[in-house]
């Protein structure tokens, strides 16, 4: 069992690029952000515990995240590895992950902070299919505007907190994985297709 990690700041394009990687590798996507939002919408204890952190743009405590991941990796579809999206986000999460699964590649999507706010504030999601759009960079097809939703934490104010959390707690993981020889950097500051093509070249 060996897994791939999609790594990068909020709005780097991890969720956007996950689809092509899943199609190419057959690995299921495991997004801690999606799992937390699902828990929140179902009103579970985990969702309620995570709510305040997410709305403030802070990281949810490691213990909650790690128990979520441990449970998820027990599922049948995870037996050959998974595509992690937004996990791990702290050194402790990465060290804990190393005890349960091998990480064969960490794809770091690099985007400057200056571009992140516009990406986040303009993001819209199709509530029926989960497809990610952007009002300027990837407009949704006509006729589905009533299905488009905006995430509660996609405000200019919250994204600045998320970027702070990224730089102080998550960015150090690049060195951690570089030292393990598995980090692959991709310039994410290009159009979506070009980024996808660079990522697919890494997977041949
Ligand atoms: P999470 O849901 O993981 O959010 P995130 O890391 O902030 O990442 P995003 O989903 O915002 O961005 P993305 O990189 O997937 O970008 P996307 O493809 O959508 O986490 C939310 C919260 O949950 C956290 O703040 C934290 O509280 C908590 N949490 C989650 N995991 C945790 C963990 N492990 N530990 C602790 N806490 C955790 O693209 C963004 C927009 O840009 C879209 O509109 C898209 O269309 C557009 N776009 C994408 N690529 C391009 C491109 N190349 N050019 C132009 N536009 C583009």
Question: pLDDT tens, 152-163?
Answer: 999 999 999 999
Nearest CA to ligand 1 atom 49: 13
Decide: pTM greater than 0.75.
Answer: yes
- For ligand 1, the distance from its centroid to the CA atom of residue 109, given in whole angstroms, is 11
Catalytic residue set: 14, 89, 123, 151, 162
Please report the atom of ligand 1 found closest to the CA of residue 135: 44
Domain 2-27+80-202 has CATH 3.90.1150.10: no
pLDDT at position 27 over 90? yes
Output the pLDDT for position 120.
97
CA distances from 159 to 45, 55, 65, 92, 109 (A): 25, 10, 20, 23, 17
- Looking at the chain, list the stretches that DSSP marks H as alpha helix, in order from N- to C-terminal side: 14-25, 32-42, 45-56, 62-73, 91-100, 113-121, 156-165, 173-179, 192-202
Output the pLDDT for position 166.
98
Q: Kindly list the domain boundaries of the chain, sorted by start residue.
A: 2-27+80-202
Nearest CA to ligand 1 atom 2: 33
């Amino acid at each position: 069992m060996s897994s791939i990690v999609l790594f990068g700041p909020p709005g780097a394009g991890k969720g956007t690029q996950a689809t092509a990687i899943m199609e190419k590798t057959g690995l299921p996507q495991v997004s801690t952000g999606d799992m937390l939002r699902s828990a929140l919408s179902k009103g579970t204890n985990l969702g309620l515990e995570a709510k305040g952190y997410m709305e403030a743009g802070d990281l949810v405590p490691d213990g909650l995240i790690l128990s979520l991941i441990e449970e998820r990796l027990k599922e049948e579809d995870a037996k050959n590895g998974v595509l992690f999206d937004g996990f791990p986000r702290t050194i402790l999460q990465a060290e804990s992950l190393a005890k349960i699964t091998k990480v064969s590649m960490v794809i770091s999507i690099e985007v400057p902070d200056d571009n992140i706010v516009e990406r986040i504030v303009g993001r819209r999601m199709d509530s029926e299919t989960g497809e990610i759009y952007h009002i300027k960079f990837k407009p949704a097809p006509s006729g589905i505007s009533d299905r488009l939703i905006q995430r509660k934490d996609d405000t200019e104010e919250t994204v600045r907190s998320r970027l702070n959390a990224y730089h102080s707690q998550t960015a150090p993981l690049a060195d951690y994985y570089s030292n393990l020889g598995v980090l692959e950097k991709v310039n994410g500051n290009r159009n979506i297709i070009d980024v996808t093509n660079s990522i697919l070249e890494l997977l041949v």
